[in-house]
Amino acid sequence: MDLSSASGIAKDIDIDAQETQEWLQALQGVLQEVGPDRARFLLSRMSAAAQQWGINWRDARNTPYINTIRPEQEPPFPGGSDAQAIEEHLASVMRWNALAMVVRANRAYGELGGHIASYASAADLFEVGFNHFFRARDEQFAGDLVYFQPHSAPGIYARAFLEGALTEDDLGFYRREIEAKKHGKQGLSSYPHPWLMPNFWQFPTGSMGIGPINAIYQARFLRYLEHRGLLQDQGRKVWGVFGDGEMDEPESLAALSLASREKLDNLIFVVNCNLQRLDGPVRGNGHIVDELETIFAGAGWNVVKLLWGSDWDSLFARDKDGELIDALNRTVDGQLQTFAANDGAFNREHFFGQTAGTRRIAETLTDEEINRLRRGGHDMKKIHAAYAAAANHRGQPTVILAQTKKGYGMGAAGEGKMTTHQQKKLDEEVLIAFRNRFKLPISDEECKNLAFYKPAADSAEMKHLLARRASLGGRMPRRVANADDKAQLRVPAIETHAKFALEAEGKEMSSTMALVRMLGSMLKDADLGRYVVPIVADEARTFGMANLFRQVGIYSSQGQLYEPEDIGSILSYREAKDGQILEEGITEAGAISSWTAAATSYSVHGLPMLPFYIYYSMFGFQRIGDLIWAAADQRARGFLIGATSGRTTLGGEGLQHQDGSSHVTAAGIPNCVSYDPAYAYEMAVIVDDGMRRMLERNEDVFYYVTVTNENEEQPSLPQDRDVKDGILRGMYCLALQADAQVRLLAAGPMLKEALSAARTLQEQFGVTAEVWSVTSFTELARDGIAAERQARLQPGVKSVLPYVTQQLQSGKAPVIAVSDYVRTLSESIRAYVPARYVTLGTDGFGRSDTRANLRDFFEVDARWIAYTALTEVFGADAGKLKDAAVKLGVDLDKPLSTSV
pLDDT in tens, 794-815: 988 888 899 999 999 988 999 9
Name the nearest CA neighbour of 650 among 395, 402, 820, 506. 820
Q: Is 698 left (phi over 0), alpha (psi -120 to 50) or beta?
A: left
Average pLDDT, stretch 108-114?
A: 75
Beta bridge partners of 609: none
Eight-class DSSP state of 365: S
Using CA atoms, how far apart are residues 356 and 353, in angstroms rounded to an integer? 7
What b/e readout covers 441-466, taking b as 16+ CB neighbours within 10 angstroms? ebeeebbeebbbbbbeeeeebbebbb
Cis ω for the linkage preceding 477 (within 30 of 0): yes
Using CA atoms, how far apart are residues 741 and 606, in angstroms rounded to an integer? 55
Q: How far is CA 860 from the centre of its chain?
A: 37
DSSP-H helix ranges across 53-109: 80-108
Those residues whose C-beta lies under 8 Å from the C-beta of residue 856, and which sit 6 or more positions away, are: 863, 864, 890
Percent residues over pLDDT 90 in the chain? 77
- What is the sign of the dihedral through the CA atoms of 805, 806, 811 and 815? negative
| Angle between helices 494-502 and 680-691 in degrees, nearest 10 | 160
Using CA atoms, how far apart are residues 567 and 574, in angstroms rounded to an integer? 8
| pLDDT tens per residue across span 204-263 | 999 999 999 999 999 999 999 999 999 999 999 999 999 999 999 999 999 999 999 999
> In 10 A of CB 134, how many CB atoms?
23
DSSP-assigned states of every residue in 171-204:
HHTBT-HHHHHHTT---B-SS--TTTSTTT--S-
Are the C-beta atoms of residues 359 and 318 closer than 8 Å to each other?
A: no
Backbone angles phi, psi at 169, to 5 degrees: -60, -40
Using CA atoms, how far apart are residues 777 and 673, in angstroms rounded to an integer? 11
Using CA atoms, how far apart are residues 651 and 710, in angstroms rounded to an integer? 10
Angle at 405 between CA 399 and CA 408, to 5 degrees: 125
Comparing 78-87, 415-424, 884-893, the range with the smallest average pLDDT is: 415-424
- Cα–Cα distances in angstroms (integers) from residue 25 to residues 66, 101, 317, in the given order: 21, 56, 18
What pLDDT shows up at residue 484? 62
Confidence of residue 113 (pLDDT cuts 50, 70, 90): confident
Are the C-beta atoms of residues 552 and 579 closer than 8 Å to each other?
A: yes
Using CA atoms, how far apart are residues 356 and 229, in angstroms rounded to an integer? 63
Confidence of residue 498 (pLDDT cuts 50, 70, 90): very high
Name the nearest CA neighbour of 611 among 631, 625, 627, 629. 631
Residue 486 has pLDDT above 70, yes or no: no
Angle at 135 between CA 132 and CA 137, to 5 degrees: 160
Those residues whose C-beta lies under 8 Å from the C-beta of residue 123, and which sit 6 or more positions away, are: 91, 94, 95, 98, 155, 408
What pLDDT shows up at residue 483? 60
The residue among 702 and 44 whose pLDDT is bigger is 702
Most distant CA pair in the chain, distance: 105
CA atoms within 13 A on the CB side of 399: 32
Residue 417 has pLDDT above 60, yes or no: no
Those residues whose C-beta lies under 8 Å from the C-beta of residue 514, and which sit 6 or more positions away, are: 500, 501, 680, 683, 684, 707, 714
Confidence of residue 408 (pLDDT cuts 50, 70, 90): confident
Comparing 424-428, 442-446, 500-504, 877-881, the range with the smallest average pLDDT is: 424-428
State how beta strands 639-643 and 610-616 pair.
parallel
Beta bridge partners of 713: 508
Residue 125 has pLDDT above 90, yes or no: yes
Are the C-beta atoms of residues 538 and 585 closer than 8 Å to each other?
A: yes
Are the C-beta atoms of residues 270 and 125 closer than 8 Å to each other?
A: yes
Using CA atoms, how far apart are residues 80 and 175, in angstroms rounded to an integer? 38
Q: How far is CA 221 from the centre of its chain?
A: 14
What pLDDT shows up at residue 461? 96
Are the C-beta atoms of residues 149 and 245 closer than 8 Å to each other?
A: no
Residue 331 has pLDDT above 60, yes or no: yes
Q: What does the chain come to in residues? A: 900
For 640, the enclosing helix (H) or strand (E) is strand 639-643
Eight-class DSSP state of 894: P
Backbone angles phi, psi at 291, to 5 degrees: -60, -45
State how beta strands 769-774 and 731-733 pair.
antiparallel
Long-range contacts of 21-28 (CB under 8 A, 24+ apart): 27/3, 28/1, 28/3
Beta bridge partners of 242: 271
Using CA atoms, how far apart are residues 24 and 31, in angstroms rounded to an integer? 11
Average pLDDT, stretch 447-458?
A: 93
State how beta strands 610-616 and 532-536 pair.
parallel
Those residues whose C-beta lies under 8 Å from the C-beta of residue 690, and which sit 6 or more positions away, are: 639, 673, 701, 703, 705
Beta strands in 540-596 (DSSP E): 554-555, 575-576, 582-583
Average pLDDT, stretch 718-741?
A: 94
What pLDDT shows up at residue 1? 31
Burial class (CB in 10 A: 0-12, 13-18, 19+), 876: exposed
Q: What is the mean pLDDT of the chain?
A: 92
| pLDDT tens per residue across span 292-316 | 999 999 999 999 999 999 999 999 9
Percent residues over pLDDT 70 in the chain? 96
Number of H helices, E strands in the chain: 37, 20
Using CA atoms, how far apart are residues 618 and 655, in angstroms rounded to an integer? 10
Using CA atoms, how far apart are residues 373 and 328, in angstroms rounded to an integer? 14
Beta strands in 730-784 (DSSP E): 731-733, 742-746, 769-774
The residue among 277 and 122 whose pLDDT is bigger is 122
What pLDDT shows up at residue 4? 34
What pLDDT shows up at residue 415? 60
Residue 79 has pLDDT above 70, yes or no: yes
Q: Is 538 left (phi over 0), alpha (psi -120 to 50) or beta?
A: left
State how beta strands 815-818 and 837-840 pair.
parallel
pTM of the predicted model as reported, rounded to 2 decimal places:
0.93
What b/e readout covers 184-219, taking b as 16+ CB neighbours within 10 angstroms? ebbbbbbbbbbebbeebbbbbbbbbbbbbbbbbbbb
Please write down the HEC assignment for all residues of 209-270.
Answer: CHHHHHHHHHHHHHHHHHHCCCCCCCCCCEEEEEECHHHHCHHHHCCHHHHHHCCCCCEEEE
Using CA atoms, how far apart are residues 556 and 533, in angstroms rounded to an integer? 14
- Cα–Cα distances in angstroms (integers) from residue 256 to residues 61, 252, 260, 594, in the given order: 17, 8, 7, 14
What pLDDT shows up at residue 68? 97
| pLDDT tens per residue across span 603-655 | 999 999 999 999 999 999 999 999 999 999 999 999 999 999 999 998 888 88
